[in-house]
Amino acid sequence: MIYYPIPLLVITITGYVIISVYKHQEVSRKEISDSKINESLQRDSVTTIINNLTDAILSADINGIIRTYNAASLNLLDTNVSLSGKYVDEILPLVD
């Protein structure tokens, strides 16, 4: 007599685990999507505030690459060229 309940039980448990992981990933994807939307809204708000300031603003990352600037900074530097992605040292060469 062949005994089939053990393989059937293993297949059932495996299926349950796979379904549980899939449902958890689906929830995680939704949370990530909501987080990206929220981050985008916050970034847009900060950009709007920066663009409406009359003072020149330049923001650079840890490597010195300009990430954010406003129209007042373009006026201060007397340029219309995009500053994004350029090094601060290229735009504002400092001398000791």
Whether 2 and 48 share a structural domain: yes
Whether 43 and 29 share a structural domain: yes
Whether 24 and 11 share a structural domain: yes
Whether 23 and 43 share a structural domain: yes
Whether 43 and 24 share a structural domain: yes
CA distances from 17 to 13, 28, 31 (A): 6, 16, 21
CA atoms 80, 83, 89, 90: torsion sign: negative
Whether 45 and 90 share a structural domain: no
Whether 62 and 96 share a structural domain: yes
Cβ–Cβ < 8 Å for 66, 88: yes
Whether 62 and 46 share a structural domain: no
Q: Which pLDDT score is estimated for 4?
A: 72
Q: Which pLDDT score is estimated for 3?
A: 66
In order, the DSSP letters of 9-48 are HHHHHHHHHHHHHHHHHHHHHHHHHHHHHHHHHHHHHHHH
From first to last of the 96 residues of the chain, give the pLDDT tens digit. 566 777 778 888 898 888 888 888 887 888 888 999 999 999 999 989 999 999 999 999 999 999 999 999 999 999 999 999 999 998 888 887
Number of domains in the chain: 2
Q: Which pLDDT score is estimated for 76?
A: 92
Domain residue limits at 8: 1-52
